[in-house]
Amino acid sequence: MVFDKKEECGLFGIYGASDAVQQTFFGLYSLQHRGQESAGIASSDGENIQCYTGMGSVGRVFRSGGSALEQLANPIAIGHVRYSTSGSSKPINSQPFITEYSQGQVAVAHNGNLINAPLLRAEYEAYGHIFKSTSDTEIISHLLAKPTHVSKSDPLAHVLNHLQGAYCLLFMFPDRIEAARDPYGIRPLCIGKTAEGHYCVASESCALDAIGAEFVREVEPGEIVTLNQDGVSSRFFVKPGTVKPAHCIFEHVYFSKQNSNIFGQNVHEFRKRLGRQLAKEHPVDADVVIAIPDSGSSSALGYAQGSGIPFDMGMVRSHYIGRTFISPDQKMRELQVRLKLAIIPEIVKDKRVVVVDDSIVRGTTTRSKMLALRQAGAKEIHMRASCAPIRFPCFYGVDFPTKEELIANNKTIEQIRDFIEVESLGYLSLDGMLGCVDRPKDNYCTACWSGEYPIPVDVRLNKFTMERHQMTLFDNTVTEL
């Protein structure tokens, strides 16, 4: 990737394990690539829920297994790593959210974006509801607490039918975990089982691998899965088959970890397919194929296989700097890119170099890396992106910039080539991308490339829609800026 965008959140939950909190910590650690702004774990002893959240990475928040985990130690736990797609990066927006209402306590963790949250919040505020955060997730707790919803035979299913957009949700009540996935299945969510027989849920299967759990299956679109003392059970809040799936193909292109299996397909193998297809669509005479690590590595390997051009490590990534899409502004993103990626001059000097990345968003950091390659002595640079040009923003949980900031929205391919200063530029076609999936092509969301949104959206929405005041928390003091 070009390290100038963010991605989404990660969820993990486990029921009944004596070390559930420790397992959740490890699960979140393996999902750190999905968000580094904040982390949190909520746990229950079967009667009471407690929660600990903080800003930063999992290791920083929990100090790699310190006293916070010991204080949380309980047999039921859910956890969350966040990057902000709704509501800014503040402690008050860290998850899980814990609430107490007429039915008792509940902790909620969310991956995705609710496009009708501003409307719902305005409605509830008109009736005197008070919100403590600016995240779209908090509205779910208010929906759960509404008396007319509480009185339903299945309150949670009733509430979920009020939500519009992309969501995978973990609800922890004192005695159980409920995991839910939106009817379109936009974001991934899966079920695992540990060697000791404890069931768990996670955003990606790599989190199951981290704790030695076996993959059982995906949570189906529109399904609620319950983990409790009886094991695992399931029900649907929408009739199966009534909504066509719209899996986010960008999960495969960039978001998910290479060893994860999502939407019935391994991420690494999928990206290699993209690279091989890219080599067919945009061949070039060159001496070496290199990747923008790490998300471009699998596609670069596929390009080398498809083209016959040797693959080598022309860039090295520092693993001590987090994924730069997490950074809140462009200046910081560019600084982190310079610190994070280093060129190996001996690989590129006097060579015709094919550079493969997963995507180009704004193009600014791509340009800086191409300049660095040129300074390292590359004779020719041929840029290849393993997805189609991104021309439209995402409203389903990806913090892409506005339409005006997307370089492919306001420049032709040739103009982009001139801007990033390379000899040639090739994007994989949308048809080529869809030709690499295992499931039917119309089961995937392609909105950021095609502009065809499976769920109608108000294009004026952005992550700060529910922010009325810009506030910063210093210790326990709220200061308006």
Which CATH number covers residue 166? 3.60.20.10
Q: Quick one: 236 and 282 in the same domain?
A: no
Q: Does residue 457 belong to any structural domain of this protein?
A: no
Q: Quick one: 25 and 70 in the same domain?
A: yes
What confidence category does residue 65 fall into, taking pLDDT thresholds of 50, 70 and 90?
low
Q: Quick one: 308 and 443 in the same domain?
A: yes
Which of 9, 190, 206, 248 does the annotation list as catalytic? 9
Q: Quick one: 19 and 150 in the same domain?
A: yes
d(CA 162, CA 64): 38
Q: Does residue 176 belong to any structural domain of this protein?
A: yes
Q: Quick one: 233 and 274 in the same domain?
A: no
Contact status, residue 203 vs residue 193, Cβ threshold 8 Å: no
Q: Does residue 112 belong to any structural domain of this protein?
A: yes
Mean pLDDT in residue range 226-245: 96
Q: Quick one: 237 and 273 in the same domain?
A: no
What pLDDT, on a 0 to 100 scale, did the predictor assign at position 340? 76
Contact status, residue 402 vs residue 374, Cβ threshold 8 Å: no
Per-residue three-class SS string for the chain: CCCCCCCCCEEEEEECCCCHHHHHHHHHHHCHHHCCCEEEEEEECCCCEEEEEEECCHHHHHCCCCHHHHHHCCCEEEEEEECCCCCCCCHHHCCCEEEEECCEEEEEEEEEEECCHHHHHHHHHHCCCCCCCCCCCHHHHHHHHCHHHHCCCCHHHHHHCCCCEEEEEEEEECCEEEEEECCCCCCCCEEEECCCCCEEEECCHHHHHHCCCEEEEECCCCEEEEEECCEEEEEECCCCCCCCCCEEHHHHHHHCCCCCEECCEEHHHHHHHHHHHHHHHCCCCCCEEEECCCCCHHHHHHHHHHHCCCECCCEEECCCCCCHHHCCCHHHHHHHHHHHEEECHHHHECCEEEEEECCCCCCHHHHHHHHHHHHCCECEEEEEECCCCCCCCCCCCCCCCCHHHCHHHHCCHHHHHHHHCCCEEEECCHHHHHCCCCCCHHHEECHHHHCCCCCCCCCCCCCCCCCCCCEEEECCEEEEC
Q: Quick one: 287 and 368 in the same domain?
A: yes
Q: Does residue 106 belong to any structural domain of this protein?
A: yes
Q: Quick one: 235 and 274 in the same domain?
A: no
Q: Does residue 74 belong to any structural domain of this protein?
A: yes
d(CA 210, CA 31): 10
Residue 243 token pair: 């909504």
Picking from 226, 243, 260, the residue at the C-terminal end of a domain is: 243
pLDDT, one tens digit per residue, over 348-361 is 999 999 999 999 99
What pLDDT, on a 0 to 100 scale, did the predictor assign at position 400? 73
pLDDT, one tens digit per residue, over 13-31 is 999 999 999 999 999 999 9
Contact status, residue 136 vs residue 117, Cβ threshold 8 Å: yes
Q: Does residue 3 belong to any structural domain of this protein?
A: no
Q: Which residue would you say has higher pLDDT here, 232 or 332?
A: 232
The contacts of residue 95 (CB under 8 Å, 6+ apart) are 9, 38, 40, 53, 80, 82, 108, 109, 110, 135, 137
- Report how many domains make up the chain: 2
CATH number at residue 340: 3.40.50.2020
pLDDT, one tens digit per residue, over 287-335 is 999 999 988 999 999 999 999 999 999 999 887 665 554 454 556 656 6
Q: Quick one: 63 and 208 in the same domain?
A: yes
Is 417 exposed, middle or buried (CB count within 10 Å of its CB: 0-12, 13-18, 19+)? middle
Domain region containing 301: 268-450
Asked if residue 176 has pLDDT above 70, the reply is yes
Contact status, residue 275 vs residue 298, Cβ threshold 8 Å: yes
For the entire predicted model, the pTM comes to: 0.89
Q: What is the mean pLDDT of the chain?
A: 89
Asked if residue 104 has pLDDT above 90, the reply is yes
Picking from 243, 259, 283, the residue at the C-terminal end of a domain is: 243
Contact status, residue 73 vs residue 21, Cβ threshold 8 Å: yes
Q: Which amino acid is at 464?
A: F
State yes or no: is 9 an active-site residue: yes
CA–CA distances in Å: residue 444 to residues 169, 223, 390, 392, 437: 20, 18, 15, 16, 9
Q: Quick one: 332 and 194 in the same domain?
A: no
Contact status, residue 63 vs residue 52, Cβ threshold 8 Å: no
pLDDT, one tens digit per residue, over 187-227 is 999 999 999 999 999 999 999 999 999 999 999 999 999 99
Angle (nearest 5°) at CA 395 between 248 and 385:
50
Asked if residue 2 has pLDDT above 60, the reply is no
Q: Does residue 219 belong to any structural domain of this protein?
A: yes
- Choose among 391, 383, 390: nearest CA to 423: 383
Residue 355 token pair: 């550079």
What confidence category does residue 399 fall into, taking pLDDT thresholds of 50, 70 and 90?
confident
Asked if residue 282 has pLDDT above 60, the reply is yes
Q: Quick one: 345 and 311 in the same domain?
A: yes
Q: Does residue 460 belong to any structural domain of this protein?
A: no
Q: Quick one: 220 and 296 in the same domain?
A: no
